[in-house]
Amino acid sequence: MRVLLCFGTRPEAIKMAPLYHELKKNNFEVLVCVTAQHREMLDQVLEFFNIQPDYDLDLMQSNQSLNSLSALILSKIDNVLRDTNPNLVLVHGDTTTSSMVALAAFHLGIKVGHIEAGLRTYNKKAPFPEEINRQLTSRLVDIHFTPTTEATQNLLNENILQQDIVQTGNTVIDALLWTTNKISKEDYYHPEIEKLKKDISFDKKTILVTGHRRENFESGLKNLCEALLDISKRDDVVIVYPVHLNPNVKKTVYDHLSERENIYLIPPVSYPVFVWLMQQSFLIVTDSGGIQEEAPSLGKPVLVTRDVSERPEGVTAGFSTLVGTDKQKIIKTIQVFLDEFISFEKPLNPYGNGDASEKIVAFLNRR
């Protein structure tokens, strides 16, 4: 069985990596096509997980619009699909790559499986454009691999047939556990980690911050920065912020936060380094989806700087707290966690236990 994996961003690559290796282990003919919707950050993940793409469309352009990116993907993937003629195309999540590749495969009558299917906010502007990407992809694909019961129910509510839904957990937990096992070994060495150890005092309560959502580019990101400035007045806190490469993010963050001694603005780090940073953190503040899924396995609380999340399971279980982008709410909630949080009583991750890739491959073997 020939399977073509298509992805374009760092989060997709992380979540597809363990599935790639599981497919190879089970003697599938596996081909990989990357659109390079994110270039540098994608390449770091490919190297770490030892994945060599068979096709690299290299579509990243500075400040490209969503429409131009969509047109490029739809146009360029056509030749790849015709050349490889796969039995199945696997796409992931909510990216422009996923929705456009699914559409192209549909046009050619090629079956498509959707990894991490069924997540919803039902607000087409949040997250933007990811919510609509997910919904479009769900209408196009043949097999829906859902991470949770709630994601499964979302699809059933949308009249997707039960027989086309396979609940597996999230492959990001597979990738996270593989990574923590690797970086915890005594002989593991990473120059970025060694530099961070020298530059930052991790003996204080470390707040790890990320932010990149398009809907937060303006006032939301500014409010977050002002809240972090207020929190940085505390003597017991250090803030570490790997700043996204998007120029809309970099300018706002550096304009507001570059003058504080206990706020460390660093370039984006590779995946193993980020996992190591999560392990060192006391609290994570983010608008990322993947971090909401990973943090429970590490016992770390997450403040989500969004008004809605397509990952409500973490909120329900108490691992994540939605704080939106209101400056005062962010400040108050961070203060409460810094002063009161000790640990989670039952750190059972609602997104899985690390066997999602095995379940996906087992289903494909049966089918």
CATH assignment at residue 53: 3.40.50.2000
Let me know whether 156 and 226 are in one domain: no
Let me know whether 95 and 229 are in one domain: no
Let me know whether 102 and 221 are in one domain: no
> Per the residue annotation, which of 134, 244, 256, 306 is the catalytic one?
244
Domain with 10, as residue range(s), is 2-170+352-366
Let me know whether 219 and 333 are in one domain: yes
Residue among 130, 136, 180 at smallest CA distance from 158 = 136
Output the CA torsion sign for 294, 249, 65, 309: positive
Whether 214 is catalytic: yes
Whether 194 is catalytic: no
In a domain, 177, yes or no: no
pLDDT at 213 over 90: no
Higher pLDDT residue, 360 or 213? 360
| 127 Cβ neighbours under 8 A, 6+ residues apart | 94, 121, 213, 214, 215, 289, 306, 310
| Mean pLDDT, rounded, for 222-237 | 97
The pTM is what? 0.94
What is d(CA 153, CA 134) in angstroms, rounded to the nearest whole number?
15
What is d(CA 85, CA 13) in angstroms, rounded to the nearest whole number?
22
User: Residue by residue, what is the 3-state secondary structure of the chain?
Assistant: CEEEEEECCHHHHHHHHHHHHHHHHCCCEEEEEECCCCCHHHHHHHHHCCCCCCEECCCCCCCCCHHHHHHHHHHHHHHHHHHHCCCEEEEECCCHHHHHHHHHHHHCCCCEEEECCCCCCCCCCCCCCHHHHHHHHHHHCCEEEECCHHHHHHHHHCCCCHHHEEECCCHHHHHHHHHHHHHCCCCCCCHHHHHHHHHCCCCCEEEEECCCCHHHCCHHHHHHHHHHHHHCCCCCEEEEEECCCCHHHHHHHHHHHCCCCCEEEECCCCHHHHHHHHHHCCEEEECCHHHHHHHHHHCCCEEECCCCCCCHHHHHCCCEEECCCCHHHHHHHHHHHHHHCCCCCCCCCCCCCCCHHHHHHHHHHHC
pLDDT at 63 over 90: no
Q: What is residue 334's predicted lDDT score, i.e. its pLDDT?
A: 98
Length of the chain, in residues = 367
Task: List beta partners, residue 146.
Answer: 167
At 212, is the pLDDT very low, low, confident or very high (cuts 50, 70, 90)? confident
| Mean pLDDT, rounded, for 249-264 | 93
Tell me which amino acid residue 190 is. H
| Mean pLDDT, rounded, for 264-281 | 97
Let me know whether 224 and 142 are in one domain: no
250 token code pair: 């970099």
Tell me which amino acid residue 313 is. E
> Per the residue annotation, which of 130, 131, 215, 313 is the catalytic one?
130
> Per the residue annotation, which of 12, 22, 116, 293 is the catalytic one?
116
Output the CA torsion sign for 271, 138, 324, 40: positive
> Per the residue annotation, which of 10, 22, 39, 94 is the catalytic one?
94
In a domain, 33, yes or no: yes
In a domain, 176, yes or no: no
Let me know whether 162 and 196 are in one domain: no
pLDDT at 216 over 70: no
Q: What is residue 345's predicted lDDT score, i.e. its pLDDT?
A: 84
Q: What is residue 217's predicted lDDT score, i.e. its pLDDT?
A: 65
In a domain, 183, yes or no: no
Question: Percent of the chain beyond pLDDT 70?
Answer: 99
Q: What is residue 70's predicted lDDT score, i.e. its pLDDT?
A: 97
In a domain, 179, yes or no: no
> Per the residue annotation, which of 21, 190, 214, 234 is the catalytic one?
214
Let me know whether 197 and 311 are in one domain: yes
At 247, is the pLDDT very low, low, confident or very high (cuts 50, 70, 90)? confident
Let me know whether 104 and 27 are in one domain: yes
In a domain, 175, yes or no: no
Q: In what order do the strands lie in the sheet with 29-34?
A: 55-56, 29-34, 2-7, 88-92, 112-115, 143-146, 165-167
Whether 22 is catalytic: no
| 359 Cβ neighbours under 8 A, 6+ residues apart | 166, 168, 169
pLDDT at 108 over 70: yes
Residue among 302, 288, 291, 352 at smallest CA distance from 147 = 352
> Per the residue annotation, which of 21, 190, 212, 234 is the catalytic one?
212
Let me know whether 316 and 226 are in one domain: yes
Q: How far is CA 245 from CA 26, 36, 252, 268, 291, in A?
A: 37, 14, 12, 7, 18
In a domain, 49, yes or no: yes
Q: What is residue 64's predicted lDDT score, i.e. its pLDDT?
A: 87
Whether 212 is catalytic: yes
Burial of 216 from C-beta contacts in 10 A (0-12 / 13-18 / 19+): buried
At 237, is the pLDDT very low, low, confident or very high (cuts 50, 70, 90)? very high
Task: List beta partners, residue 232.
Answer: none
pLDDT in tens, 6-51: 999 999 999 999 999 999 999 999 999 999 977 888 999 999 999 9
Let me know whether 6 and 149 are in one domain: yes
Residue among 251, 261, 293, 255 at smallest CA distance from 275 = 293
pLDDT at 177 over 70: yes
Chain-wide mean pLDDT for the chain?
A: 95
73 and 52 in contact (C-beta within 8 Å)?
no
In a domain, 80, yes or no: yes
Pairing assessment for the beta strands 237-242 and 165-167 based on DSSP bridges: unpaired
Domain count, the chain: 2
| Mean pLDDT, rounded, for 242-267 | 91
Let me know whether 27 and 160 are in one domain: yes
Let me know whether 50 and 162 are in one domain: yes
- Lowest mean pLDDT of 84-93, 168-177, 209-218, 270-279, name the range: 209-218
Q: What is residue 40's predicted lDDT score, i.e. its pLDDT?
A: 80
